[in-house]
Amino acid sequence: MQNKLKDFQKKINITFKDEKKLLQALVHRSHLNEQTSHNESNERYEFLGDAVLELWATESLFNSYPGFHEGNMTNLRAKLVCTKSLSQTALEIGLDKMVLLSQGEEQGGGRENQSILADTFEALICAIFLDQGQSSVEKFLNSTLLPKMKKFAQAKTFKDPKSIFQEFAQAKESVTPHYEIESENGPDHQKEFVVAAYIGDKKVSTGKGNNKQSAEEEAAKEAVKKLYT
């Protein structure tokens, strides 16, 4: 593990003063069931990392896009820091190979689980913040997430599917859509949610995802395709 930690630090171009902070960021709660060397998961790191990430994203959007109104900045921030975006970034830096999982979680596809990857990415942000300070966090996020922010902004894809669906539904039908969970299957580490999107009492579409939010987003995408394209 020591060599993996060294190689990972080279990849992200950060040398930790205290490698224990980096290691703590990698401990998924399932790992605690199978060993005794760690007493705590990375969930507290995730909590702080989420706040540090949101501040960076908010400040970056505010400074980079003075012409954007509050609604556009909010939607772009949501798209940038959503589970899908963060999990993709985690894969790009090889975080999937570093997270410490139980055997069961790993066999169940934990290294490809978007929620686990996104949470670990937020925990890594916290570890950098605690070890190096805000300036190193900014440097790290500027290299990993800022290109995505610019791409989303240039493509004008900063509105998430649910917002687009809501705007269409309100404009065309004068109704705010809502979502209902139709089913929830699978073990805790590999859930699949099926969510239906409704306009009033009319079921418009369904979507699947490994959490409620992603299932709702898929349902919204399908609704927009079906009704408005």
Here the tokens at position 172 are 């065309």
Here the tokens at position 24 are 């703590």
Here the tokens at position 228 are 């408005």
Query: Which of 122, 131, 138, 218 is flagged as catalytic?
Result: 122
Euclidean distance between CA atoms 71 and 83, whole angstroms = 20
Here the tokens at position 112 are 């490809």
Is 50 considered catalytic here?
Answer: yes
Query: Which whole-number Å values give the CA distances from 190 to 29, 35, 163, 181, 184, in the listed order?
Result: 15, 22, 27, 17, 10
Total Cβ atoms within 10 A of residue 207: 22
Query: Which of 50, 119, 160, 216 is flagged as catalytic?
Result: 50
Element of type H or E holding 181: strand 178-185
Euclidean distance between CA atoms 216 and 78, whole angstroms = 14
The residues assigned a catalytic role are 50, 122
